[in-house]
């Protein structure tokens, strides 16, 4: 099923992301987590793609198994930085052969110690989007950054690049995580003013430990509202209390988003089935539509 039809449906969409293992040794445990989340019957699930395609084989296999075994629509991530055109086509072939109809097209992060090379086939996500569109048959999603991409000189520049990606063929966008819904609403206003009209799925991460948030800030520059900092200060030393508080905070964000007409929320569940289950329980009546 094409995700654009789910995202644009009247019923609120609640979906979850998982990431595949970095090695075969961890495959079984992550497969179990993915299956536990799939059993919640979310609107759809997405499966990430490691830097430089390091987990690409697992991405397709996990996504295909979820869809086949649990009848949950899936979206496979695909990044292009340091990838060849032939390699991208092989990934698309594998997705098609496994019945995967939805792709999140990403530039991706450079593998550690790697520098961009002029001869690479892709340098920007918009180039990958155009490639997938030319290949045909996929519903194409893209990423967006409500606070601006960390590498962009300004938010205006980032939105201009986002428009190129949409014009290349993105049918919907999914945001990076944010912790203040006003950031999302302001971003939505700005991109609509810029002529970007595709649906924008809100990305929410329930923060369940302090180390997790430190890494998020270092990688993305995401701003933390003061009231969220108070939660970290008060409960960060107590793992169970922090988990409960993080789930409650994320639930409050999602309730507000749905109440304000946002059609779809994507939860970065970090392969934690218990967190996904609690979020879904908290919203059980709301997501009935």
Task: List residues with catalytic annotation.
Answer: 17
* Length of the chain measured in residues: 289
Distances, alpha carbon 96 to alpha carbons 2, 29, 50, 91, in Å: 13, 26, 20, 9
Q: Is 76 within 8 Å of 95 (Cβ atoms)?
A: yes
Q: Is 20 within 8 Å of 30 (Cβ atoms)?
A: yes
User: Using CA atoms, how far apart are residues 35 and 222, in angstroms rounded to an integer?
Assistant: 30
Q: CB neighbours of 147 closer than 8 A, spacing ≥ 6?
A: 155, 176, 178, 183, 187, 221, 222, 223
Element (H, E) at 179: none
User: Using CA atoms, how far apart are residues 59 and 56, in angstroms rounded to an integer?
Assistant: 5
Q: Is 11 within 8 Å of 289 (Cβ atoms)?
A: yes
């Amino acid at each position: 099923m094409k995700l654009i039809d789910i995202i644009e449906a009247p019923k609120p969409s609640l979906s979850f992301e998982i990431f595949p293992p970095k090695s075969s040794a961890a495959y079984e445990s992550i497969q179990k987590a993915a299956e536990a989340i799939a059993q919640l019957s979310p609107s759809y699930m997405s499966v990430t793609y490691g830097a430089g395609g390091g987990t690409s084989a697992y991405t397709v296999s996990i996504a295909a198994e979820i869809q086949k075994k649990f009848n949950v629509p899936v979206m496979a991530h695909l990044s292009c930085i340091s990838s060849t055109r032939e390699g991208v086509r092989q990934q698309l072939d594998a997705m098609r052969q496994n019945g995967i109809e939805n792709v999140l097209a990403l530039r991706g992060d450079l593998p550690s110690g790697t520098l961009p090379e002029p001869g690479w086939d892709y340098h920007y996500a918009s180039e990958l989007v155009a490639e997938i569109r030319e290949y045909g048959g996929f519903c194409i999603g893209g990423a967006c950054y409500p606070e601006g991409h960390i590498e962009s000189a300004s938010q205006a520049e980032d939105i201009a690049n986002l428009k190129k990606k949409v014009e290349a063929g993105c049918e919907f966008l999914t945001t990076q995580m944010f912790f203040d819904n006003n950031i999302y609403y302001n971003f939505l206003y700005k991109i609509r003013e810029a002529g970007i009209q595709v649906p924008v799925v809100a990305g929410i991460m329930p923060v369940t430990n302090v180390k997790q948030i430190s890494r998020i800030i270092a990688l993305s520059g995401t701003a933390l509202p003061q009231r969220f900092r108070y939660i970290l200060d008060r409960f960060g030393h107590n793992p169970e209390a922090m988990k409960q508080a993080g789930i409650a905070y994320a639930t409050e964000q999602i309730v507000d988003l749905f109440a304000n007409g946002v059609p779809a929320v994507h939860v970065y569940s970090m392969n934690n089935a218990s967190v996904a289950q609690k979020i879904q329980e908290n919203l059980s009546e709301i997501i009935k539509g």
